[in-house]
Structure 1
């Protein structure tokens, strides 16, 4: 919890406890039923594949968590040479809330945005534009949003919750109050929304983009390094493509 919790700190489904996944149940049932019962020409594969995409994100994150805890237990080359506190583990148990929120937005968009219906598997131009939008406006807006979160007013009410974890784990990257995540989703959804508007998005461009963000977030919050420093000397542009825990 932040030092001075602000409005919309709690997630809307916190009161449901372990039953929070029922928030997505109506859409999961509807997308599966629609895909199974409609003719092949009417089936919306992109709508049906939202659930597998969400599950793949959970598996991806869990692999990083398990790998990180194994490396932390070994104690080799830790950046912060401390053990993980039980309090932090408990505080970060709700890391899957942001995936539920992601599913909520995807299902909502898939039903109410006409351009999101019947997406193709692949569009090369869509993939290129997705990463150009990310490298341009998204990174710029995110930088200043993050700077604002470190202002004492927002920091004490929201972002301090994230920085309560001194010995970071991969999943520390997504441990934020609900209101802060809304801000992140508004920013990081821009490449998807803009390519939908341009008419060149695809199922794989969205899946690759989300996987890339998850990969970088998880790797960047480990308590140990993965990439030898020498690689940055051999290939200097690498520092513009990835960031490291240090």
Structure 2
């Protein structure tokens, strides 16, 4: 993927926070240093790299024809429509910066807390997955589908970043949903840099894998253990 000038210019919106966090990281007393605040920008860049790897891998298998699921080429209109896939990463980054600035619980998070990691995992597998199912089902109702979710399904041959191509209101709904584990660990003072970063990377991984248009999980595993199809999320 090649970024044009407009793609690069949009990153200016996070520049003030990125500069301020770097300045504080360099000049603050080590005991007062907020590592989480400083790591927001590197984390955003890591997410972009993660997505780009999936895009390249998916296009490789699409061109090679190996393990493809939908046997069609990628439409140029789809490529143009999906060029803003990194907008949601920038928006997420702004929310992180604002949250750290406004919420005392979000400041000076430790690198790791086992209880917070377990809490985030349990909250996701419980209420978040349940609510996500019904949100997604509601988005396929004709009223919401025609106004919002149809934009996502305009991409017939999905790419990894097709997973995040939604109208802004739909992005807000997803952000609110996936914020449940993050805000809960903050309010219970069990949050850590690892639980935040790990959870968001997990969401990115599942989104990318589910829309990559090549069979990521070998089919022979399902032949050996058929019930796996009820337990494992796959692109097909």
- TM-score strictly above 0.5: yes
Aligned-pair CA distance for 1:17: 5.9
- Tell me whether 1:48 sits opposite 2:19 in the alignment: no
Q: TM-score, normalised by structure 1?
A: 0.89
- Tell me whether 1:118 sits opposite 2:83 in the alignment: no
RMSD: 1.5
Match of 2:83 among 84, 93, 97: 93
Match of 2:61 among 71, 78, 88: 71
Match of 1:136 among 126, 129, 148: 126
**Distance in 2, Cα, partners of 1:26 & 1:172:** 30
- Tell me whether 1:204 sits opposite 2:194 in the alignment: yes
Match of 1:169 among 159, 170, 176: 159
Task: Summarize the Cα distance change of 1:72–1:17 in structure 2 as closer, same or farther, 3 Å threshold.
Answer: closer
Match of 1:127 in 2: 117
Match of 2:179 among 180, 183, 189: 189
Q: TM-score, normalised by structure 2?
A: 0.93
Aligned-pair CA distance for 1:203: 0.4
- Tell me whether 1:155 sits opposite 2:145 in the alignment: yes
Higher relative contact order at CA 8 Å, sep ≥6: structure 1 or structure 2?
1
The 4+ residue runs of structure 1 with deviation greater than 3 A are 232-240
**Distance in 1, Cα, partners of 2:228 & 2:168:** 35
**Distance in 1, Cα, partners of 2:115 & 2:230:** 25
**Distance in 2, Cα, partners of 1:112 & 1:235:** 49
- Tell me whether 1:24 sits opposite 2:21 in the alignment: no
Structure 2: runs of 5 or more not aligned:
1-5
Aligned-pair CA distance for 1:245: 1.1
**Distance in 1, Cα, partners of 2:106 & 2:98:** 10
Name the count of aligned residue pairs: 230
Task: Summarize the Cα distance change of 1:61–1:17 in structure 2 as closer, same or farther, 3 Å threshold.
Answer: closer
**Distance in 2, Cα, partners of 1:155 & 1:225:** 27
Match of 1:219 in 2: 209
Aligned-pair CA distance for 1:38: 1.0
